């Protein structure tokens, strides 16, 4: 990181050519992080679904 922001370095990158990269490894999370896989699982349980077996395979049937 220090190399690309040092104007005297040949690998310097102008601010207009830089991009931001964010990672979800807990270093940039907010004070109250949301565990998206858990929230998805909880929300998925509240959805009413009905399955039927057709040709030996489960098929999702839309509720009226």
Query: Quick check: is 27 in a domain?
Result: yes
| pLDDT score for 12 | 94
Domain limits at 38? Answer: 21-64
pLDDT score, position 43: 78
CB 13 within 8 A of CB 4: yes
Mean pLDDT per 10-residue segment, the chain (64 residues): 90 91 62 73 73 84 66
pLDDT of residue 29: 56
Asked whether residue 9 is assigned to any structural domain, the reply reads no
Residue 8 within a domain = no
Q: What's the pLDDT score for residue 25?
A: 64
44 within some domain: yes
Indicate the pTM of the whole model: 0.34
Q: How many domains does the chain have?
A: 1
Any idea which residue has 């040949």 for tokens? 10
| CA–CA gap between residue 33 and residue 10 (Å, rounded) | 39
């Amino acid at each position: 990181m220090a190399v690309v922001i040092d104007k005297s370095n040949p690998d310097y990158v102008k601010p207009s050519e830089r991009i931001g990269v964010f990672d979800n490894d807990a270093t940039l999370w907010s004070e109250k992080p949301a565990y998206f896989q858990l929230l998805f699982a909880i929300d998925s349980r509240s959805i009413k679904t009905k399955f039927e077996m057709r040709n030996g395979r489960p098929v999702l049937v839309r509720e009226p």
